[in-house]
Amino acid sequence: MNDARSHAHGRRDFLAFGAGALGAASIACQATNVSKERLASVERASELDRLFADLVDQTSSVEPIRPEERVGRRARAARLLGELGLDALLVEGGATFSYLTGLSWWPSERLFAFVLLADGSHFWLCPAFEAEKARLKLRRDDTLGEDVVVWQEHEYAWKPLAAELARRRVERVAVDPAARFFVVENLADAFGRERVVGAGKLIGRLRGVKDAHELAILRRASELTQQALVAVAPHLRPGMNGAEISELVQHAERRLGLTNPWDLSLVGPLAAYPHGEDKSAKLEAGQFVLVDTGGTLHGYQSDTTRTWCPVGKPGERELRAWTTVRDAQLAAFDAIRPGARCADVDRAARETIERAGYGSGYTALTHRLGHGIGMEGHEAPYFDGGSDVLLESGMTLSDEPGIYVLGAFGVRLEDVVAATDTGADHFGKWQSDPSSPA
């Protein structure tokens, strides 16, 4: 009996040792694979650095937004609160939060918020255990102050927030439209539903019109994106797919100093899906490639699309579509002026495509003409047929008509444009012909 137990224990020990050895071997194998992948990634990055050695970081070519500029933004927001009959604005982490404060804070289930009052004062709402971390961030910019209202885990944010608003004699608080639903609902329950309103109109007026510094950053972001595309074009070869083209584009953008680059490269018939995800098609002679890409410069976004034929010559049908899209883009640009309705700019592009015989409405141009752009890639206002927004000098939008023929090809040209005092401005250069993104 003892011998049997001893034999069983020995077998278990042997099996345990074997399993442990196999586990260790598996981990070692995985580590080796990870190391190989990492090495391959480093080698690929070095290869691309050599390919784009003439592209250098351009972030210093335009200054970032300064703290004193954000002081002016907060003062303007406070004035807008007064004009709209509101007492306070609540903003959680996101674009408007960064626009007003220069800070970022990851939105979790624990509310951290910036609250601006119509009298120009402000305070911060913070989970108690994060308060010191918040103060450390606030001390980096002495214009932000350290007026932090804390809440403990057992009480949640809503009652302390409502109490602080009441103490500061706030009657109506506007909430950033980008705030999450539970923030609005819980605040309404604690403070009174009739006293909590949306801040969409205020935010649109606050961020929709860009100042000269914002326009300079947006212009430079567009120029660098276009420069990256021009640098990539000579390296496109037959047999490359969309994923391989995207890798080149994003690396070129990073070399120029753009952060968080993104890219959608669609080859041939796959470009008929404006937001297509399939990048498997391989480039052939005579085909168009549609490259929609952008990145971030000092917190502001670029968004540029070019369609061109990298190898050989496009067919007559594709060439005619490209020319029509170019004409539609310029027709929309000519319609931009202060006081013009966004819907009318959309119509100018759409009618150009209709007159060329591509059908009415959304037959060929299947989406709106464009979107506002600033700290967010897509923001108000929008060039669509239902928008009665009147353009103001300083508003920036994308002008991006397209023609999409399922099973055949897609063409889209996109540039960022701005309304000016007398008409419109264009950031960078228009694409001049279908053989190059330049």
pLDDT at residue number 279? 86
CA 376 to chain centre: 5
Between CA 322 and CA 11 the distance in angstroms is 74
Domain residue ranges in the chain: 67-207, 212-426
- According to DSSP, the residues that pair with 198 across neighbouring strands are 175
pLDDT in 10s for each residue of the chain, 438 residues: 444 444 444 444 434 444 454 455 555 555 566 677 787 788 888 899 999 999 999 999 999 999 999 999 999 999 999 999 999 999 999 999 999 999 999 989 999 999 999 999 999 999 999 999 999 999 999 999 999 999 999 999 999 999 999 999 999 999 999 999 999 999 999 999 999 999 999 999 999 999 999 999 999 999 999 999 999 999 999 999 999 999 999 999 999 999 999 999 999 999 999 999 888 899 999 999 999 999 999 999 999 999 999 999 999 999 999 999 999 999 999 999 999 999 999 999 999 999 999 999 999 999 999 999 999 999 999 999 999 999 999 999 999 999 999 999 999 999 999 999 999 999 999 999 999 999
The answer to whether 403 and 217 have CB atoms below 8 angstroms apart is no
Q: Spelled out in words, what is the top-level CATH class assigned to the domain 67-207?
A: alpha beta
pLDDT of residue 231: 98
**Strand order from edge to edge, sheet including 148-151:** 148-151, 122-127, 113-117, 88-92, 173-175, 196-198
DSSP, residue by residue, 300-352:
EE--EEEEE-SSS---HHHHHHHHHHHHHHHHHHHH--TT-BHHHHHHHHHHH
Does CATH place domain 212-426 in 3.90.230.10?
A: yes
Q: How far apart are CA 354 and CA 400, in angstroms?
A: 16
Distance CA 161, CA 148 (A): 11
Distance between CA atoms of 399 and 373, rounded to whole angstroms?
A: 11
Q: What is the pTM of this model?
A: 0.90
**H/E element, 208:** helix 200-208
Query: If DSSP codes are grouped into helix, strand and coil, which group holds residue 53?
Result: coil
d(CA 342, CA 349): 12
Task: Identify the pLDDT of residue 20.
Answer: 52
